[in-house]
Structure 1
């Protein structure tokens, strides 16, 4: 499966209240390794790797998402054009929570809610 194709899940991101505990738990449970970096807000971010493949990321809830977001796994779905997809979300009865935003050296993403209020991320990779 090519996760960089339109409509495919491509990445999962953990929003947590304890980054070190999450790193220890998932690292030991699943054999994941991590590369420490920063997210678009300049806060600590862990890139998740397994056998040389990047699987996702982990970040702290505080300073990165709104207070109403509970700790969770947060999926990214690839789209061909994040700008056009964000416009379609509203036309289809959803809501754009964070408008299309650049992730340096990765691509452009937005956060949406579907008509039932479930949030997820849409991303177009560079």
Structure 2
């Protein structure tokens, strides 16, 4: 069964949002130092979020980034076979909105709209 594994929060003002979540919920929010092949992380003003210690029944990692469109909070589901999952999307009434894309050092990701128009991220980590 695929589990939610990561969330991303878009923000019009990343510093303001960082302060809000850190002060309100005590989250640790640190800027990511982009690598040369990091898919525009610097322009995104991407920050890693740690919500606390991982434990059963909780999601403990996320990201905060500069909003580019009118995107909602985005949840990512870890899947074992990204190609297989993507091959089923349209037949189930969904739409692939971002094809499979490599994230250097992390894995592969894609984004889909579900049958109700909700955006969901899918990803497969690099096999270790």
Match for residue 24 of structure 1 among 8, 19, 23: 19
Q: Which residue of 1 aligns with 2:10?
A: 15
Q: Which residue of 1 aligns with 2:47?
A: 46
TM-score normalised according to structure 1 size: 0.81
Q: Which of the two has greater strand per residue?
A: 1
Question: Tell me, which stretches of 5 or more residues in structure 1 are unaligned?
Answer: 1-5
Q: Which residue of 2 aligns with 1:123?
A: 123
1:61 and 2:67 are equivalent in the alignment = yes
Out of 74-83 and 41-50, give the one that drifted further: 41-50
Between the two proteins, the alignment pairs up a number of residues equal to 115
Question: Tell me, which stretches of 5 or more residues in structure 2 are unaligned?
Answer: 55-59
Shift of 1:96: 0.2
1:34 and 2:29 are equivalent in the alignment = yes
Q: Residues 82-104 of structure 1: CA distance to partner in whole angstroms, max 9, x if unpaired?
A: 12211111221210000011111
